[in-house]
Chains A and B, each alone.
Chain A
Amino acid sequence: MDLFLKIAVAAVMGMVVFYAWRAYQHWQEHGPKAQKGDWRAVVLPLALVVGLVVLLVAMVR
């Protein structure tokens, strides 16, 4: 039962990867390009997320 479920989950996740591939192609072709300062505007909040996760792990240890 456990192996069957794992195979089923893997199969469905494989389908999701296929749809993600199609979405990737669409966004590569039609998506806007980053403007000046856009990547910095993304990296900063994600760095804060990393810091928060580290803090949460320290709280639980």
Chain B
Amino acid sequence: MANTDYTIVRSTERAIATNKVLKNTYMLLSATLVFSALMAGLSMALAVPSWMYMVSVIVAMVLGIFVLPRTANSSSGVGMIFLITGLLGFGLGAILTLYLALPKGPQIIGTAFGGTGLIFLGLSGYALTSKRDFSFLGGFLFAGFMVVFIAAIANIFLAMPALSLAVSGAIILLMSGFILFDTSRIINGGETNYIMATYGLYLSIFNIFIQLLSLLGILGDE
């Protein structure tokens, strides 16, 4: 009897801890998305040049790889994630300025925005309500990640539209898989740090939006 009571108490404690990580993750994610959008608006108002996107991505990636993991367990991690997402938003503004100049620019941006929201909410809802543990996707996703990134590096210099389309499509699918994977890890206790969880989900959303913009920009042109 005592063993059963202990098991029930431990299960309840784990559920409470998981729900707390989930709640903190989604709250921080909402805040960083809003901040990112504000920075994008600022960037568009300042009419920053398009190369600012590359600079922002470079700095954000370096911070994300080397600094964020070291600060994720302290309060400075929150400041760091806002810095990273603010940088990415600022760079995004430069890209949005380019798209607004296209004939169907506002439509493309609006469609990409709506599509990204639908994809994220749909997949998150599915991962939250499904009884499945999607952690088994880890090896497959990181292998795909490497292949796609190597193709993307090649395309930086080759600039082939067909390769660009293939890379965009692959990244959208990969990031969709990562949304399932990351959300599942939070639910099942595999990820207990809400800052790192937020970073993972934010990158998935950001990449889906950027690649949807690219796809719609190329394919939407009659």
Q: Does B15 contact A (CB under 8 A)?
A: no
Contacts of A45 in B (CB 8 A): 122-123, 126, 176, 180
A32 to B176 Cα, complex, angstroms: 20
The interface on chain A, measured as residues whose beta carbon lies within 8 A of the other chain's beta carbons, has a size of 42
Please determine whether A2 and B135 come into contact, CB atoms closer than 8 angstroms: no
* Main SS at interface, chain B: helix
* Main SS at interface, chain A: helix
Cβ-closest chain B residue relative to A29: B139
A56 to B115 Cα, complex, angstroms: 7
Please determine whether A20 and B219 come into contact, CB atoms closer than 8 angstroms: no
Within 8 A of A (CB), among B37-96: 51, 54-55, 57-58, 61-62, 65
Contacts of B160 in A (CB 8 A): none
Please determine whether B146 and A60 come into contact, CB atoms closer than 8 angstroms: no
With beta carbons under 8 angstroms apart, the residue of A5, A13, A23, A60 that contacts B149 is A13
User: Measured between C-beta atoms, what is the minimum distance from A42 to chain B in Å?
Assistant: 7
Cβ-closest chain A residue relative to B220: A60
Please determine whether A2 and B51 come into contact, CB atoms closer than 8 angstroms: yes
Q: Given A19-B65, A60-B104, verify A46-B115 contact (CB < 8 Å).
A: no
With beta carbons under 8 angstroms apart, the residue of A15, A20, A46, A53 that contacts B146 is A20
A49 to B133 Cα, complex, angstroms: 20
Please determine whether B62 and A56 come into contact, CB atoms closer than 8 angstroms: no
Mark interface residues in A8-50 (1 if CB within 8 Å of B CB, else 0).
Answer: 1110111111011101101110011111011001100110111
Q: Given A32-B133, A33-B136, verify A21-B58 contact (CB < 8 Å).
A: no
Contacts of A26 in B (CB 8 A): 138
B interface residue numbers (CB < 8 A to A): 51, 54-55, 57-58, 61-62, 65, 104, 107-108, 111-112, 114-115, 118-119, 122-123, 126, 130, 132-139, 141-143, 145-146, 149-150, 152-153, 156-157, 169, 172-173, 176-177, 180, 212, 215-216, 219-220, 222
